[in-house]
Amino acid sequence: LGLMDPVTNIILNTIAHLPQDFRANPPLPHDCKRRRRSKRLAGAARPRDSWSSHIGPTCRRDTWPRDAAPSYLALRRFMVRYFGCLSEEQATQYLHWAGADLALAVLLVEHDLYAAELQLPDPATERTQAALMCAATCASHPAPDALVRLHTTPVPLERLHAAAPFLRPGGPKLTVDDVNTLVDLLRYQCSALLDLQVKLLPGGREAVVYCRNLKPDEGKLEICNSTSSVDGFDVVSIKVQRHGDLFASMRSDPQDKRSMISTLLAKAAKTSRSRGLVESCNGDACEYTESLRMRLHGVIHTFYLKVFIMLPPSTGLIRNILWAGHCYGPIDPVSNIIVNSIWHSIVYPLPLSEIKEYHIIDTLSMLRVEVRSLEGLMALVRGNSKSGCLTQGVMEHLSRKCCDLSEETHTLQQFAAAAATAQHPQHAALGLFLASVTPDVLNDLRRLLTTDTNGVVSCESLGKIEHLLRQKAVTLDPKPPKVAKLCEEAKETLVKMKSYYNRMKLYLGSELEKLLRKYASEHPREPKYVLSVIYGVVDGSKSLDRECYHVNFVAASKSGTAGNQLFFAKLN
């Protein structure tokens, strides 16, 4: 398990798990070997299946399967966790084609799922680190945090280059000196946790900080005094930053990456007679098609998160986003969501008594609009005769385009059909609106949807967009929207749901504001944040008879100078 080739991973993971005082012993002189051999022959015969670190590897039949099985489970778990849209069977197949090389297996999956750019796993991202930790834990690794640190902590370039020759495939065989070099390298890497130590002296009014004296090529030390005090305290921050690079950087040459993927594709085509899981796919319900669908759902989910980050607080668009803010249309997907939501708020507004700030406390509402957006996009692609009608081909087209169909032209009938397929509440009117948008209006919308330096669309720009769309919306449906009539049972249900929603909104809002105040005290150099919108709440396991909630939300800076931020919280 690791981001290098499998053999190098085995070597690094083994040496990293050795005792702190381990040193590789030099080979014994020839006469000492002869005396040891004669003593061994004179003594009692060893059992045939016994193992000794002095005589070499074991010959027990159950040893290698016992080691190989956890490795296989770890590799498979990494693939499933890293992508989130693969079955265990698919992960196994890709690992087989890649020769159990995780990085190459990732390239193969991204190739089959039409990633915009083939990227090796980045050790610096939380996605890669979380997948490594999950994989190591699944395989019952004795120190999963140490394994993750091995692949994600930088090493000085001079030390890394010294180890590079015998860590690359096809390099020279390891000698005793090479092993000791690696031992020293990994010991230095593991000592990163001790770069900064704080000791509180008796009395509680003085602290001693120990900082590692790093050489210029190994790292740097920064000590900063804050310009303003926080809650009556002056803030002093000490930062130790290590210089260097990661082990994975030794295989990140773009030319080598293209060569590796070409070789793997040729091998996969030869062994399985298919380019991946595409040729062996049977119908629209096969695992490959489902993987494409889940991948597209993830892409579309990202669009909605970008919308929440781009919108300023108190825009009042959440209800319209969830109800009619689909991502298909004549512009890019993120802009389509905003424009379609504003258009729906104009043409079919809520009664004044119902206009409130909304939070999303049910993840199914987010899932619904994302699934319907994908159905609308697929209907638009099917409307283009050049793209074919098979679900697999349609999804591959959307994957190649990253769901952005703004460069393609569509007719009124195609837009209306897409909206109908996506179960838009007013599909005919939406189709007429999307088809009536002129190039000049599109240019104006793109200009107005440009974010400020803080990454947020200004309220002034949103107001201009509403004014622009209101001029077109008047001619579309001059009749006022009909008010729904509910039976008594439905009214009672609605009242109960509203009551539950209001209770949850008040509880979550107050708790998250407390957490944001705590976050501000713990991060004095960052902006102070206030709650903007909750976009997902999931019930967790009970703890001591208390309900647990996992909450995703967006927070805006109080000053308005910094951009919105995505946060995650766990509440009891």
pTM of model > 0.75: yes
**215 and 105 co-located in one domain:** no
Query: Longest C-alpha distance within the chain, in Å?
Result: 106
**216 and 175 co-located in one domain:** no
Q: Kindly state the tokens that stand for 416.
A: 């209306």
Buried b (16+ CB within 10 A) or exposed e, 490-522: eeeeeeeeeeeeeebbeebeebbeebbeebbee
Decide if 358 is inside a domain: yes
**What separation in angstroms does the CA of 15 have from each of 48, 56, 139, 185?**
28, 16, 18, 10
- Domain boundary, last residue among 425, 442, 473: 473
Measure CA 521 to chain center.
28
**511 and 363 co-located in one domain:** no
Specify whether the CB–CB gap between 566 and 305 falls below 8 A: yes
* pLDDT value for 51: 35
**410 and 510 co-located in one domain:** no
Sign of CA dihedral 169, 174, 178, 180: positive
Decide if 271 is inside a domain: no
**203 and 91 co-located in one domain:** no
Decide if 53 is inside a domain: no
**392 and 516 co-located in one domain:** no
CA distance 380 to 328: 8
Reading the chain (572 residues) residue by residue, the pLDDT tens digits are: 999 999 999 999 998 888 877 887 765 665 555 555 555 555 544 443 433 344 455 556 677 777 789 999 999 999 999 999 999 999 999 999 899 999 999 999 988 888 777 888 999 899 999 999 999 999 999 999 999 999 988 888 888 888 888 887 777 888 888 888 888 888 888 888 888 888 888 887 888 888 888 888 888 888 877 655 656 677 788 888 888 888 888 876 656 667 777 777 777 776 654 444 444 455 566 888 899 999 999 999 999 999 999 998 878 889 899 999 999 999 999 999 999 999 999 888 876 656 567 899 888 999 999 999 999 999 999 988 664 578 888 999 999 999 999 999 999 999 999 999 999 999 999 999 999 999 999 999 999 999 888 889 998 999 999 999 988 766 555 566 667 788 999 999 999 998 999 999 999 999 999 999 999 888 877 889 999 999 999 987 665 667 889 999 999 998 878 889 999 999 88
- Domain boundary, last residue among 473, 501, 534: 473
Decide if 278 is inside a domain: no
Looking at the structure of the chain, the number of domains it has is 4
Q: Which residue has the tokens 């990732």?
A: 106
Decide if 149 is inside a domain: yes
Decide if 281 is inside a domain: no
**Residue 479: how many CA atoms within 13 Å on its side-chain side?**
4
Q: Is residue 423 helix, strand or coil?
A: coil
Specify whether the CB–CB gap between 151 and 89 falls below 8 A: no
**10 and 134 co-located in one domain:** yes
**317 and 464 co-located in one domain:** yes
CA distance 15 to 11: 6
Decide if 12 is inside a domain: yes
- Domain boundary, last residue among 430, 448, 473: 473
* pLDDT value for 475: 57
Decide if 307 is inside a domain: yes
**176 and 311 co-located in one domain:** no
* pLDDT value for 279: 46
Q: Residues near 326 by Cβ (< 8 Å), separated by ≥ 6?
A: 336, 337, 340, 369, 372, 373, 376, 419, 422, 424
**422 and 318 co-located in one domain:** yes
DSSP per residue, 240-296: EEE--B-GGGGG--HHHHHHHHHHHHHHHHHHHSSSSSSTT--STTSHHHHHHHHHH
**552 and 419 co-located in one domain:** no
* pLDDT value for 116: 72
**170 and 318 co-located in one domain:** no
User: Range of 553's domain?
Assistant: 488-571
User: Any idea of the CA torsion for 229, 230, 232, 238, to the nearest 10 degrees?
Assistant: -70
Q: What are the backbone angles phi and psi of residue 563, rounded to the nearest 5°?
A: -80, 165
